[in-house]
Chain A
């Protein structure tokens, strides 16, 4: 069965960077896109971006442009999300989530049916 296992909780100081990993199993890794979604305490879900695990193409929310990098290592079946210049407002649970449908051409589905367990990133001085 499909499993997404994320790396553990992180505590970072303001201005630092964090890199969260998401190891996938149970499906053809390069056939699907992976999205990253975060949720600050008591807040709504917030979409950050996606990566096509097959070719490495990615797209980011403008809000995080320049601060976020999503990458993929097919040999390790792992996707990474790195966020830089952290502030207290980046304190949140970060989720990786796989699309329901495989990538078809350039179409990246947005419905997310498999999620990692979440990684809490705390930014505090």
Chain B
């Protein structure tokens, strides 16, 4: 199975901050990498797919980059509704594993 790691595991930030989350795969996954946001008690929401494609309706302050094993999710200016947990997911090969998540909370 492909193992996914994320860093940091949590971070505190203020509204307006630029936030970067890193995801690493245990082997190359080309660009088969998705990012999700999840709020407590809710299902995840797709933000980015294929490493850098912004899902329809997702604000442009979210962006993704990377290929191979190293990926980043950047929020250019954090908004109140962005405080949540972020997960990466590889879809290069089954099982489609998720990272452990990065919790973004209010400083």
Residues of A at under 8 Å CB distance from B?
35, 44-47, 59, 61-63, 95, 97, 100, 109-113, 115-118
Contact = CB atoms under 8 A, between A and B. Distances in A.
Interface of B, secondary structure class, is loop
B100 A44 contact: yes
Contact of B46 (A45, A62, A112): A112
A34 B99 CA distance: 21
30 contacts: A35-B96, A44-B87, A45-B36, A45-B38, A45-B44, A45-B87, A45-B98, A47-B89, A47-B94, A47-B96, A47-B97, A59-B94, A61-B95, A62-B1, A62-B95, A95-B43, A100-B55, A110-B32, A110-B34, A110-B89, A110-B96, A111-B49, A111-B89, A111-B91, A112-B44, A113-B46, A113-B55, A115-B44, A116-B43, A118-B43
Contacts of B82: none
Given A100-B55, A110-B32, A117 B95 contact: no
Interface residues of B, number: 23
A30 to B, nearest CB: 22
A110 B95 CA distance: 10
A95 B87 CA distance: 15
B98 A46 contact: yes
A34 B7 CA distance: 29
Contacts of B91: 109-111
Given A45-B87, A45-B89, A100 B46 contact: yes
